[in-house]
């Protein structure tokens, strides 16, 4: 049986159906590069890699996994519309966080949808592709093979399967939507997460912070222990908190930062033009916030909301600091 040859295609890691929502009033999307140059174009012009999801091994064995992203891409508009129906507390930033968090009902259909959308954006992100490239380079070097720094087929072969693995893992855990009405989020070709670029190592302690709209950021958390309800919480951020998240996004991005109307001031981490990351993906401000979001419960023994004392992400932060101190000791 003859198989049709794979056609050269642009495979979007930031789909057009999502890029539409980053357009300014004139219908144009803005990106800024590490050198500070700003480019503007219609949605879909940026955020794509040629043949990123093609696996070309020769003849009838060629394949592509690009179609697996059709479902999350086609439901992006409906997903964004759903985000617009979710409320967030009007409590001010100077109030205790437990009073600012608002529990939400997360129907099974929406839970599956948020997992599909989030997993698809993570699995095909340039950040994950770079992680795969570095891993395969180390393997080839350790095996005495010549490095191949631009083998898209090798990257794609390792990338295939990540979407389903991430999606299934995200069917358990705690979700949060962070909203902002006073300052816009930025997003990029990388965002904070500690998901491995492998479908075989998906343990607890996972976290992800994905700015999906100029007004909304998706957070996924899977600590070892957390209340089963609510599955979803919301939080309205103030301008300082949004600025901190934007700084974190710049660390994980490399070539692209998307913004709508508010051009970001570039950080040294982004200017260097690399997919950087925090040590152990730990952050002194973010981890305690993730603790509170993941450990929030709606009803305690006295019938009021609370936050469990177990603080997994912060304990990891403290534990890694202790480990670093131990390693740095003179022996």
Q: What is the 3-state secondary structure (H, E, C) of the chain?
A: CCCCCCCCCEEECCCHHHHHHHCCCCCCEEEECCCCCEEEECCCCCCEEECCCEECCCHHHCEECHHHHHHHHHCHHHHHHHHCCCCCCCCCCCCCHHHHCEEECCCHHHHHHHHHHHHHHHHCCHHHHHHHHHHHHHHHHHCCCCCCCCCHHHHHHHHCCHHHHHHHHCCCCEEEEEECCCCCCCEECCCCECCCCCCCCCCCCEEEEEEEECCEEEEEEECCCCCCCCCEEEEECCHHHHHHHHHHHHHHCCCCEEECCCCCCCCHHHHCCCCCCCHHHCCCCHHHHHHHHHHEECCCCCCCCEECCCCHHHHHHHHHHHHHHHHHCCC
Provide the number of structural domains found in the chain.
1
For residues 10 and 31, give the distance between their C-alpha atoms in angstroms, rounded to a whole number.
18
Give the per-residue pLDDT at 138.
Answer: 74
Q: Please give the residue range of the domain that contains residue 319.
A: 69-328
Closest residue by Cα to residue 207 from 175, 243, 168: 175
* Assigned domain for 7 exists: no
Q: How far apart are CA 209 and CA 215, in angstroms?
A: 14
Q: Maximum distance among all alpha carbons in the chain?
A: 69
Q: Is residue 42 part of a domain?
A: no
Domain membership flag for residue 56 = no
The pLDDT score that the predictor gives to residue 328 is 46
Give the per-residue pLDDT at 322. 42
Is 26 part of a structural domain of the chain? Answer: no
Distances (CA, A) of 312 to 90, 106, 199, 220, 221: 28, 24, 23, 14, 11
Q: How far apart are alpha carbons 146 and 269 in whole angstroms?
A: 30
Does a structural domain hold residue 44?
no
pTM for the complete prediction?
A: 0.91
pLDDT of residue 5: 73
pLDDT value, residue 151: 80
In the chain, which stretches have pLDDT less than 70? 1-4, 139-150, 310, 318-331
Asked whether the CA dihedral 52, 162, 114, 93 is positive or negative, the reply is negative
pLDDT of 323 reads 40
Whether residue 41 lies inside any domain: the answer is no
Q: Does 38 map to a domain? A: no
Residue 331's pLDDT is: 34
User: How, if at all, do strands 206-213 and 102-104 pair?
Assistant: unpaired
Establish if 47 belongs to a structural domain: no
Report which of 297, 229, 321, 271 is spatially closest to residue 33, judged by C-alpha positions.
271
Task: Give the residue from 47, 23, 42, 16 showing the smallest Cα distance to 254.
Answer: 47
């Amino acid at each position: 049986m003859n198989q049709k040859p794979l056609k050269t295609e642009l495979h979007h890691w930031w789909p057009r159906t999502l890029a539409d929502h980053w357009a300014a009033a004139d219908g144009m999307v803005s990106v800024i590069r590490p050198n500070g140059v700003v480019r503007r174009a219609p949605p879909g012009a940026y955020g794509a890699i040629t043949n990123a999801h093609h696996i070309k091994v020769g003849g009838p064995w060629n394949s592509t996994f690009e179609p697996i992203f059709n479902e999350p891409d086609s439901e992006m508009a409906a997903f964004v519309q759903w985000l617009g129906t979710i409320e967030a507390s009007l409590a001010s930033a100077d109030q205790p966080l437990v009073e600012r968090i608002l529990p939400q009902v997360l129907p099974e259909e929406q839970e599956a949808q948020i997992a599909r959308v989030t997993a698809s954006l993570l699995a095909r992100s340039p950040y994950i592709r770079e992680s795969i490239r570095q891993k395969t380079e180390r393997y080839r070097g350790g095996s005495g093979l010549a490095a191949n720094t631009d083998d898209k087929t090798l990257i794609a072969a390792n990338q295939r399967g990540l979407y389903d693995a991430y999606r299934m893992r995200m069917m358990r855990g705690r979700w949060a939507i962070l909203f902002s009405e006073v300052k816009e989020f930025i997003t990029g070709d990388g965002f904070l997460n500690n998901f491995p670029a492998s479908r075989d190592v998906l343990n607890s302690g996972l976290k992800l912070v994905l700015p999906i709209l100029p007004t909304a950021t998706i957070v996924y958390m899977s600590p070892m222990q957390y209340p089963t309800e609510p599955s979803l919480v919301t939080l309205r951020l103030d301008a300082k908190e949004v600025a901190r998240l934007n700084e974190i996004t710049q660390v994980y991005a490399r070539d692209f930062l998307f913004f709508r109307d508010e051009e970001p001031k570039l950080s040294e981490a982004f200017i260097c033009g690399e997919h950087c990351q925090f040590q152990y993906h730990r952050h002194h401000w973010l981890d305690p916030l993730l603790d509170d979001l993941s450990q929030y419960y709606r009803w305690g023994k006295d019938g009021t909301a609370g936050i469990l004392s177990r603080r997994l992400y912060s304990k990891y932060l403290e534990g890694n600091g202790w480990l670093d101190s131990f390693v740095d000791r003179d022996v």
